[in-house]
């Protein structure tokens, strides 16, 4: 039975690997690829990315609503199959432009991002919803979330290593990314084939009809969901800010630019390896306490980063191990708690809104990334920090990288205290 559960979790979780392989290169490589390799002015690339990020976040609640509506006619697996070609074609197009001029590249990038973001949202939101529908107990929700997070982190690590290796092999980042986007296809198709063997036990959906607006706002009428969302916002911002600033921190505080990707790799390796531990702790001590322990560990690691001086790379590597370990709880526990809440609502005969909840959830997660960039970078500029400049205010960078996340994580811990996690038939 235990092996059956493990096999089931692998079949479900494996699809997160190629999804993560798509998301990271878009976030990291597009500015340099289109700005440096293809010659689009960097401010134009930035404007395109900003507009597409707004589109990406704004579409998620609507995709969630439409997915719930269409799941009455189609299975969520079929909806994922509908979204998959958009994801594949969009990702291939981004790093294989067929245009020749700078303006043509800009239009190509915009259209490609619209296509890939649409496909990615359709696939991922319904993938998350299936995870909720599959879980038959509270701990199963944790195991499912843990499996998804583990394969997602594995995909991130592959997306960090493979493009760099290919770029070195071809002595060209453009060629390396082009080959990587093509090599992604078998990863996705094989993972999708394995995932297709998951037996989705979709719940019966109530026949009640709702207007578009009422169903879009339905998650916000759930008091427990709103409280969980507040915790998620504070905790997510605490993760997003150092994630955004780590390359600046390594270059200007540690003065060890050449080790940047090693630190990022250590962080994600630690996250992935810690996921089984957090899954066990959630079953042993409860999800609320486990998440609070993870937050406390994150605060501990962020705090010590404030005192680092140039070339203290070993200490920072240890901080990456600790903060990465703490991040494993953020990748697992919140999704499990949300799945419990959705399951409880569906058990009370509320019309099924699984994807609707995850659409809002994804909107908030993506908005957190935008807020992190939109607030932290301008504030650092006002405090006279400029990357790479000798007379720059590096104390401001250290404060923003280390102390601000501590304050945000502590705020999340306080809000989590007010979140009531019911002991019910889903809690085993």
pLDDT: is 28 or 334 the higher one? 334
Q: What is the three-class DSSP state of 5?
A: helix
Span 191-241, pLDDT tens digits: 999 998 887 655 444 445 555 556 666 677 777 888 898 999 999 999 988
DSSP at 177: H
Write the secondary structure of 47-86 as one string of H (helix), E (strand) and C (coil). Answer: HHHHHHHHHHHHHHHHHHHHHHHHCCCCCHHHHHHHHHHH
pLDDT at 276 (0 to 100): 92
Residue range 345-364: average pLDDT? 69
Q: Identify the band that residue 252 occupies on the pLDDT scale cut at 50, 70 and 90.
A: confident
Q: Identify the band that residue 244 occupies on the pLDDT scale cut at 50, 70 and 90.
A: confident
Report the candidate in 191, 213, 201, 19 with the shortest Cα–Cα distance to residue 119: 19
Q: Residue 182: what are its φ and ψ, rounded to 5°?
A: -80, -40
pTM for this one?
0.84
Name 58's Cβ contacts closer than 8 Å, sequence gap at least 6.
Answer: 363
Least confident of 71-85, 264-278, 356-370, 378-392: 378-392
Neighbours of 99 (CB within 10 A): 13
Q: 204-238: string of b/e by CB count within 10 Å (b at 16+)?
A: eeeeeeeeeeebbebbeebebbebbbbbbbbbbbb
Span 333-351, pLDDT tens digits: 998 888 888 877 655 544 4
The CA angle 349-351-352, to the nearest 5 degrees, is 110
Q: Is the pLDDT of residue 291 over 90?
A: yes
Neighbours of 374 (CB within 10 A): 12
Cα dihedral 159/358/402/397 (nearest 10): 70
Report d(CA 242, CA 349) in Å as an integer: 42
Q: Is the pLDDT of residue 422 over 70?
A: no
Q: Is the pLDDT of residue 2 over 50?
A: no
Q: At what angle do helices 223-252 and 354-382 cross, to 10 degrees?
A: 40
Report d(CA 385, CA 378) in Å as an integer: 10
Q: Identify the band that residue 424 occupies on the pLDDT scale cut at 50, 70 and 90.
A: very low
If you average pLDDT over every residue of the chain, what do you get?
A: 84
Instruction: Enumerate domains of the chain plus CATH numbers.
Output: 1-200 (1.20.1250.20), 213-427 (1.20.1250.20)
Q: Is the pLDDT of residue 381 over 60?
A: yes
Report d(CA 402, CA 303) in Å as an integer: 6
């Amino acid at each position: 039975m235990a092996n059956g559960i493990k096999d089931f979790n692998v079949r479900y979780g494996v699809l997160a690997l190629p999804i993560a392989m798509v998301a990271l290169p878009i976030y990291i490589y597009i500015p340099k690829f289109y700005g440096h390799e293809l010659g689009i002015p960097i401010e134009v690339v930035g404007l395109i990315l900003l507009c597409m990020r707004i589109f990406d976040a704004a579409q998620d609640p609507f995709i969630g609503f439409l997915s719930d509506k269409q799941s009455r006619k189609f299975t969520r697996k079929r909806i994922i199959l509908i979204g998959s070609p958009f994801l594949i074609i969009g990702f291939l197009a981004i790093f294989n432009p067929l245009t020749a001029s700078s303006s043509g590249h800009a239009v190509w990038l915009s259209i490609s991002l619209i296509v890939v973001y649409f496909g990615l949202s359709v696939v991922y939101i319904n993938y998350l919803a299936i995870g909720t529908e599959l879980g038959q107990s509270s701990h199963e929700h944790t195991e499912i979330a843990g499996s998804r997070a583990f394969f997602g982190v594995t995909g991130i690590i592959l997306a960090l290593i493979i493009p760099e290796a290919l770029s070195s092999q071809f002595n060209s980042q453009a060629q390396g990314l082009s080959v990587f986007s093509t090599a992604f296809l078998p990863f996705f198709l094989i993972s999708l084939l394995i995932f297709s063997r998951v037996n989705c036990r979709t719940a019966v959906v109530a026949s009640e009809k709702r207007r578009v607006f009422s169903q879009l706002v339905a998650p916000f009428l759930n008091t427990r969901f709103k409280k969980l969302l507040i915790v998620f916002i504070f905790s997510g911002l605490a993760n997003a800010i150092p994630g955004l600033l780590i390359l600046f921190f390594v270059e200007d505080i540690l003065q060890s630019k050449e080790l940047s990707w090693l630190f990022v790799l250590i962080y994600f390796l630690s996250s992935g390896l810690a996921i089984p531990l957090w899954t066990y702790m959630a079953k042993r001590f409860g999800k609320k306490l486990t998440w609070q322990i993870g937050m406390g560990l994150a605060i501990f690691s962020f705090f010590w980063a404030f005192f680092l001086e140039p070339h203290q790379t070993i200490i920072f590597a240890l901080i990456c191990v600790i903060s990465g370990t703490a991040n494993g709880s953020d990748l697992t526990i919140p999704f499990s708690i949300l799945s419990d809440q959705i399951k409880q609502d569906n058990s009370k005969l509320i019309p099924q809104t699984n994807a609707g909840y995850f659409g809002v959830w994804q909107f908030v997660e993506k908005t957190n990334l935008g807020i992190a960039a939109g607030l932290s970078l301008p504030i650092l500029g006002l405090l006279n920090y400029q990357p790479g400049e000798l007379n720059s205010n590096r104390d401001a960078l250290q404060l923003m990288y280390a102390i601000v996340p501590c304050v945000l994580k502590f705020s999340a811990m306080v809000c989590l205290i007010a979140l009531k996690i019911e002991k019910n038939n889903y809690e085993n």
